[in-house]
Amino acid sequence: MARALGPERRLLAVYTGGTIGMRSEQGVLVPGSGLAAVLRTLPMFHDEEHARACGLPENTLVLPPASPDQRVIYRVLECQPLFDSSDMTITEWVQIAQTIEVCLFFQNQLFRGNRVTKVDSRRFAAFCSPNLPPLAVVGTDVTINRELVRKARGKAPLVVHSCMERDVGLLRLYPGIPAALVRAFLQPPLKGLVMETFGSGNGPTKPDLLRELQAAAERGLVIVNCTHCLQGAVTSDYAAGMAMAGAGIVSGSDMTSEAALAKLSYVLGQPGLSLDGRKELLARDLRGEMTLPAGAEGWPSLSHSTLGRGVAQLLTLSQEADAVRDAVVPSLACAAAHAGNLEVLQALVELGSDLSLENFNGQTPLHAAARGGQAGAVTMLLRRGVDVDPRDEDGMSPLLLAVKGRHWGVIELLRAAGACLSPGELEDAGTELCRLASRADLEGLQSWWQAGADLGRPGYDGRSALLVGTL
């Protein structure tokens, strides 16, 4: 585990090893130790000359400069004894959580940890975040998906809840699964179950199977319904038999089964909660692990809620509140655009708000709508005559954000309105296109091509996506 030093920026990361970090013992791969010694010999991970000049301790490493005045100084902490992820239990989960906050960085992409699942046992593109874009993408530059980064609430220290329920399980339904097998699985001491179902949350309709689920729910077993599909979500109106199983089943929305199991363990481990309280907590987005259905966390109408009336009153105040209005409106408009809430956008227009103003990140509502793939909001904003090619503080355009989010409908709307990738964006596209081609990522290639990128443009090594794709 690596912990960056210094008051300005603190970087916490964990090296979990995988096959790359293993060593062979009598023909068997086991976790390998001595990572710090290996990193010290690699110039891209340690600047020995700078370390000596600064008199850094022997156990401290420093990266090459990220910019003229920025460096990351870090130490490597190795768990003793080392453990393989295949052998991890809730005890190790808590240990890792108490050491760092957890994300996953793999093949140039930084993912939210509770959104990730492993999809390939061989390739470097081993992990994906099926229902949430990466928090950041590292290429010739670092692109941060700022609207996905959850802001810390206050300055209080992180509290790790170590009281976890261990009697939870995972059951994958399959066509023809015997009711007797399900009954045996649901017996005490099991207290919570993640049930993988078909499609949008459906399961077999056999009465004997449904009776087993109903009986388990009635005796207090908490069941979370997750789809075994890689992408998509469980809907609240699951068709066929699942709806007949009664209110005992909680929708897991678009959580991965791994995240649902950890969340279930956490919720059931909280003392003093009623059964209904636990179900309500499971149905909420606690740490960015799920995307709630449209409307569940939507923006209230500015004219039909206490919050809305307060905001509306603020926005209509006279000159003494101009500074407050100027600070509030851009962020409110961007949030509404990202959520696709046309009602709030229209209310802001009626109150005289300028929908082309930038928020604290230099982003306009068009940036936010494009990043969120909200074609309706994009259409509305373009009809209001907003600039189709504004740049945020990272130099990103709405079109580039739509490309990275693979929102083809939004790309089409922006292109029809005259948006174009800049020469700099097109120059950087070659390397990104080659990376996508090497992974056979047709959706990503389609997005760039639709935005006007040339698939024959060479990357940093002179090869093009077309050439890489034929190898």
Q: Under DSSP, is residue 171 helix (H, G, I), strand (E, B) or coil?
A: strand
Catalytic residue among 16, 19, 60, 470: 19
The pLDDT value given to residue 11: 45
The pLDDT value given to residue 315: 56
* Cβ–Cβ < 8 Å for 194, 261: yes
Q: Under DSSP, is residue 192 helix (H, G, I), strand (E, B) or coil?
A: strand
Number of residues that make up the chain: 471
**Residue 204 pLDDT class (50, 70, 90 cuts):** confident
Catalytic, 19? Answer: yes
Q: What value does the mean pLDDT take over residues 14-29? A: 54
The pLDDT value given to residue 9: 42
Question: Of 376, 334, 329, 335, which Cα lies nearest the Cα of 353?
Answer: 329
Q: How many Å apart are CA 107 and CA 102, to the nearest integer?
A: 17
The type of residue at 16 is T
The 10 Å CB-count burial string (b at 16+, else e) for 324-335 is: ebeeebbbbbbb
Q: How many Å apart are CA 64 and CA 247, to the nearest integer?
A: 56
Mean of per-residue pLDDT scores for the chain: 80
DSSP run (H or E) holding 322:
helix 322-339
* Cβ–Cβ < 8 Å for 402, 337: no
Q: What value does the mean pLDDT take over residues 384-410? A: 90
pLDDT tens track for 262-301: 999 999 999 888 898 899 899 989 889 998 765 454 444 4
Give the chain's domains with CATH numbers: 2-148 (3.40.50.1170), 168-282 (3.40.50.40), 306-470 (1.25.40.20)
pLDDT tens track for 363-395: 899 999 998 899 999 999 999 899 999 998 878
- Max distance between CA atoms of the chain, in angstroms, equals 79
**Residue 168 pLDDT class (50, 70, 90 cuts):** very high
Q: What value does the mean pLDDT take over residues 129-146? A: 82
Pairing of strands 192-197, 168-172: parallel
Ranges 17-21, 222-226, 311-315, 445-449, most confident? 222-226
pLDDT tens track for 79-98: 777 777 788 889 888 888 88
User: CB under 8 Å to 136, separation ≥6 — which residues?
Assistant: 109, 110, 142, 143, 144, 145
